[in-house]
Amino acid sequence: RQLNRSINETLNRILADLQAGRLDEVRDLATKQKQLETALAQAQKLEAEFNERFGTGLESGEIDVRRARLEIGCRLARIRRCCREKGLPQADEGD
């Protein structure tokens, strides 16, 4: 996201410079484009390496929403039980 935001800001600044007749940044446009392409390729390579090493977190196919809801519910129940045992206030008691 940050890279895309930075690219958009740079392009908007370059367009504004063009419209104002300032051509300094435009002359460097090819170099900047190559730098962006290199950064994007590196990010994609790192993402692929990460996914290959650790997986994407998704099994093949769709997410089992029902199972995820059940697992989350069980974890929340354990947290609630632990909080009660330690005497921490419950959500309905006011935080």
Rounded to an integer, the average pLDDT of 65-87 is 89
Q: Tell me the C-alpha to C-alpha distance, in Å, between residue 63 and each of 24, 51, 73.
A: 50, 17, 16
Rounded-to-integer distance, Cα 24 and Cα 41, Å? 26
Establish how many alpha carbons lie within 13 A of residue 48's alpha carbon, considering only the half-sphere containing its beta carbon. Answer: 6
Task: Please write the tens of the pLDDT for every residue from 18-55.
Answer: 888 888 777 788 788 888 889 889 999 999 998 888 87
Residue 57 has pLDDT above 80, yes or no: no
To which H or E segment does residue 28 belong? Answer: none
Alpha helices in the chain (DSSP H): 2-19, 24-27, 29-54, 65-85
Rounded-to-integer distance, Cα 8 and Cα 66, Å? 39
State the pLDDT confidence band at 91, using cuts at 50, 70 and 90: low
pLDDT at 63: 78
Considering the chain, what is the average pLDDT of its residues? 82
pTM of the model: 0.42
Residue 94 has pLDDT above 50, yes or no: no
Residue with tokens 């997410």: 63
pLDDT at 45: 94
pLDDT at 76: 93
